[in-house]
Amino acid sequence: MKLKSLTEISNQYEPIDVEITFLPGLPQIHFLGRADQSLKESALRIRSAFRACGFSFPQTQKVIVNLTPSHLKKVSPGIELAVALGILKMTEQIENLDFSDFVIFGELSLEGEVRFPELSRFINEQQNLKILSGPGLEKYQSGFQIPSLKSASVLEDVSRIKRNHFKSPISPVSHLTSRQAQALKILSVGEHHALIAGSQGSGKTLLTEVLITLLDPPDFESAYFHESHFHKELTWRPVARPHHTVSPQSMVGGGVPPKPGEITRAHGGLLFLDEMFEFKPPTLEALREALSSGHVTVSRGLHSTSFPADFQLIGTTNLCPCGKWTPGQMRNCSYNERRCHSVLQKLSGPLLDRVQGFFYFSDRADRPQIPVEKVKAEIIQAKDFQKQQKRSGLNRNYQEAFLSPEEQLLWTQFLQNFGIGSVRRRQSTLAWARTLSDLELSPQIKATHLQKAYDDCVLSLTNLLKH
């Protein structure tokens, strides 16, 4: 069996291979590959941890541990966890586990507790390693913690998630209008925050249901987080749909000690606010921290806890109490203009600034003619193109610093001509343009992409505020 761990090389901790096999002989652990004295002492800690946790050590075999590359002296306090888990798997005391994607690195106590070694602060973070260790691993977003060897069930959950084949939900419709198709492609490829508004019966909620089927399956970290914190197996991307009567505490988290709220349940997925303007203003304003940083800190008394909350926000709403008005169309409303304006006052400027794009639909829409499967194929093609460009992160977080010199010049000229005041609105426009270029399989952002992004992110908001 071969596992991966870490050892110190030139003041940095780098990955090494840990090979384990059994040979007939006395029940001992023999290290090969220039292991230092502290590592040899770990054999006794491993045996003590096994006994304390109720595991059995091989009685008629000796354990051979080969550390490669063999020419380097191995100095590491964390290899012993890899050795212990390797022995448990080979003796079938823990089953159905696949460690191939992990670097296993942790110290064992005599009672079997797992600790993240203090010297591991020298790990090269640029390697983007998936580390399996104990408490203290919080700085690594792609890491997984087990408090002790007794927590093997957690590892079995990890292995099961890796083998799970997520299945996309079935789309509630088979065909879309051209405007619906374009909106879905942008929201799926870029995972932007957006407000979908318009008259009653125009298909706003239905559009969101289709969007869920077009998103990527959940990544491994997101699936593991939800199963370990909410004890619920994910079948697709997480979707939170709080009712508009939800309180701010239920939305962001609360209690003593603090517990996660709806936005953490949407972590790695979609937060769907149907009838967004019906939510209480304090509840909506509580979203601002998470929309900016991807996490939320909840403090109650002496307790303070930070929860992940990196989600895509999709809100749907009517813009008038009568449910008939849509920007760009003649007002046909039984309410006075002041009553209509009061609807928009539920959203503050800073919150609207965090919504990247706006789509307006009316009940006088075109006949649906574009198959959903065709839209899905174009989305997959655009996402494959993103991978080829080797860009990391979601388009909604795209920044000016990522632009090429040619794109930077075009962007500067564009800002001189159009003058977008808000820094956050500029970032939204640029991120939107990046998604439009991906949909056209263009490595460079072009002027047409910027113009269309300006229409969706700036002019659409201006038309809304003129309402």
pLDDT digits 0-9 by tens, 412-447:
888 888 878 788 999 999 999 999 999 999 999 999
Confidence bin at 126 (pLDDT 50/70/90)? very low
Per the CB < 8 A criterion, the answer to whether 309 and 296 are in contact is yes
Q: By C-alpha distance, which of 346, 368, 342, 329 is closest to 199?
A: 329
Assess whether pLDDT exceeds 60 at residue 121.
Answer: no
pLDDT tens digits for range 453-463? 999 998 888 87
Confidence bin at 39 (pLDDT 50/70/90)? confident
CATH class of 2-163: alpha beta
Question: Looking at residues 142-167, what average pLDDT do you find?
Answer: 66
pTM of the model: 0.71
CATH class of 175-371: alpha beta
User: What phi and psi values does residue 383 have, to the nearest 5 degrees?
Assistant: -70, -35
**Predicted pLDDT at 96:** 62
Q: Which amino acid is at 193?
A: H
Beta-bridge partner residues of 64: 21, 30
Per the CB < 8 A criterion, the answer to whether 153 and 227 are in contact is no
| Dihedral (Cα; 253, 256, 257, 262), 10-degree rounding | -10
**Predicted pLDDT at 415:** 87
**Predicted pLDDT at 137:** 64
**Predicted pLDDT at 10:** 64
Beta-bridge partner residues of 313: 271
- Residue spans of the domains in the chain: they are 2-163, 175-371, 398-459
pLDDT tens digits for range 86-115? 998 888 887 666 777 788 888 888 898 888
Q: Which H, E and C letters describe the chain, residue by residue?
A: CEEEEEEEECCEEEEEEEEEEEEECCCCEEEECCECHHHHHHHHHHHHHHHHHCCCCCCCEEEEEEEECCCCCECCCCHHHHHHHHHHHHCCCCCCCCCCCCEECCEECCCCEEECCHHHHHECHHHCCCEEECCCCCCCCCCEECCEHHHHHHHHHHHHHHHCCCCCCCCCCCEECHHHHHHHHHHHHHCCCEEEEECCCCCHHHHHHHHHHHCCCCCHHHHHHHHHHHCCCCCCCCEECCCCCCCHHHHHEECCCCEECHHHHCCCCEEEECCHHHCCHHHHHCCHHHHHHCEEEEEECCEEEEEECCCEEEEEECCCCCCCCCCCCCCCCCCCHHHHHHHHCCCCHHHHHHCCEEEEECCCCCCCCEEHHHHHHHHHHHHHHHHHCCCCCCHHHCCHHHCCHHHHHHHHHHHHHHCCCCHHHHHHHHHHHHHHHHHCCCCCCCHHHHHHHHHHHHHHHHHHHHC
**Predicted pLDDT at 147:** 76
**pLDDT higher for 36 or 212?**
212
Domain made up of 398-459: CATH architecture: Orthogonal Bundle (1.10)
Assess whether pLDDT exceeds 80 at residue 276.
Answer: yes
Q: Measure CA 341 to chain center.
A: 36
Q: What number of residues does the chain have?
A: 467
Pairing assessment for the beta strands 270-273 and 239-240 based on DSSP bridges: parallel
Q: By C-alpha distance, which of 186, 90, 25, 335 is closest to 196?
A: 186
Evaluated on CA atoms 251, 252, 256, 259, the torsion sign reads positive
